Amino acid sequence: MVDPIRVYPAKPSKVYFYGTCLIDLFYPDAGMAGIRLLEREGIEVIFPDDQTCCGQPAYTSGYHDEARTVAAAQLGLFPQDWPIVVPSGSCGGMMRKHYPDLFRDTPFENLAAEIAGRVWELTDFLLNVCHIKLEDLGEPTTVAMHTSCSARREMGIAEVGPALLGQLTNVTLAEQARPEECCGFGGTFAIRHPEISGAMVSEKLTTLVDAGAREFVTTDCGCLMNIAGHAEKAGTPMTGQHILSFLWKRTGGEGGKRS
């Protein structure tokens, strides 16, 4: 059976943009970069004003009734059959992979399944639906790439970030040891198991530094916050940003050109 997540639609004229809580509260520049990249590809971006949390924190903590209440508020935000793009493998994975189970045997079962089938992680959408071509206008630099566990294992897009970075002629992608390992964030995992989480992010930071990078990019803001925050606390010269912000800046922002 073909996984429908790998059956890409034709490039649409419009998309819904689901911004996520961390984009909204901490990294709005990444959200705006994603919107501008889509608009530069000729796509009209619709941002539903009433969007809130996808319900994942409650869901992964075992509070499924509470998660349904939060998630149900999102189901009416996307009435047209346009794709729903999400700048996060974590939130995208929740909506794409877990909404059908969360709402099974409820009045929202069919709607949740239909919504789930239209959800795409944004970098995957740019690469495999928009077939974006990037022209690098930045100075030579070396970066490391961290792909979140949800993006890698639930959305199956571990190769997407490196593929996009590979289009940037002046960017060298540092080869890190064990790129598949978790940074230790894991949403509420970092709160419930702080010692384990701290050890994991320390090890992740070490692998990034050992790869020869002083900057990393990632598809998920939770990982970005965790790794960059640990680097700052540890006094390690490592900075990070969301890959969408990085791509937008490297291609010249408003004045960027596409080949």
Closest CA to 18 of 42, 60, 39, 48: 48
Instruction: Give the per-residue pLDDT at 5.
Output: 63
Q: How many structural domains compose the chain?
A: 2
Residue 89, domain CATH: 3.40.50
As beta bridge partners, residue 14 has 44
Coil, strand or helix at 253: helix
56: part of which helix (H) or strand (E)? helix 56-60
Instruction: Give the per-residue pLDDT at 190.
Output: 84
- Does residue 133 fall inside a structural domain? no
Residue 186, domain CATH: 3.40.50.11810
Residues 131, 258 contacting (CB under 8 angstroms): no
| 160 and 208 co-located in one domain | yes
| 175 and 65 co-located in one domain | no
| 47 and 117 co-located in one domain | yes
Range of the domain at 218: 141-255
Residue ending a domain, choose from 85, 101, 128: 128
Residues 108, 81 contacting (CB under 8 angstroms): no
| 149 and 244 co-located in one domain | yes
Residue ending a domain, choose from 74, 101, 128: 128
pTM score, whole prediction: 0.93
Pull the structure tokens for residue 219.
């598809």
First and final C-alpha spacing in the chain: 37
| 105 and 9 co-located in one domain | yes
Instruction: Give the per-residue pLDDT at 147.
Output: 95
- Does residue 91 fall inside a structural domain? yes
Instruction: Give the per-residue pLDDT at 4.
Output: 55
| 37 and 90 co-located in one domain | yes
CA 99 to centroid of chain Cα atoms: 17
Residue ending a domain, choose from 67, 93, 128: 128
| 25 and 120 co-located in one domain | yes
| 121 and 30 co-located in one domain | yes
pLDDT (tens place) for every residue of the chain, 259 residues total: 345 566 899 999 999 999 999 999 999 999 999 999 999 999 999 999 999 999 999 999 999 999 999 999 999 999 999 999 999 999 999 999 999 999 999 999 999 999 999 999 999 999 999 999 999 999 999 999 999 999 999 999 999 999 999 999 999 999 999 999 999 998 788 888 989 999 999 999 999 999 999 999 999 999 999 999 999 999 999 999 999 999 999 999 854 444 3
